[in-house]
Structure 1
Amino acid sequence: MFGLFKRDPVKRLREQYSAKLEAAMQAQRNGDIRGYATLTEEAQALWKELEPLEQAKR
């Protein structure tokens, strides 16, 4: 009953992952290669958290 109002953690991580990739792309386009590398690394860390949750959900 109360699970109705809980957010899906997979959806939240997916949104964060997409936002990091978008920010990394913008940094790369602006020539900020260090920023791109940092944001890509953060996105990969989010993916490592997200992947097992998506596999368990299937």
Structure 2
Amino acid sequence: MFSIFKKDPTKKLKKQLSIKLEQAMNAQRNGDIRTFSQLSFEAQEIDKQIEAIEVEESK
């Protein structure tokens, strides 16, 4: 009934994902491959969380 007032649970995660991907890109540009791989891994984990939430919402 009041679904228009519900907050999007993935909004915060999508913002975190965007930040992690930008940080990873900057690390890669600077030649810091170790940091790039760590940030990419963290971004993948956030993406998995987003997908899990979206699957639950679609049910």
TM score, norm. by length of structure 2: 0.78
Supply the AA of the counterpart residue of 1:39.
L
Offset of residue 7 of structure 1: 4.2
Greater share of helix residues, 1 or 2? 1
Q: Any gaps of 5 or more consecutive residues in structure 2? A: none
Give the gaps of 5 or more residues in structure 1.
none
RMSD between aligned alpha carbons? 1.7
CA distance in 1 between counterparts of 2:57 and 2:31 reads 38
When normalised by structure 1's length, the TM-score is 0.79
Q: CA separation in 2, counterparts of 1:28 and 1:50? A: 24
Tell me the number of residue pairs that the alignment of Structure 1 and Structure 2 aligns.
55
Runs of 4+ residues deviating >4 angstroms: none
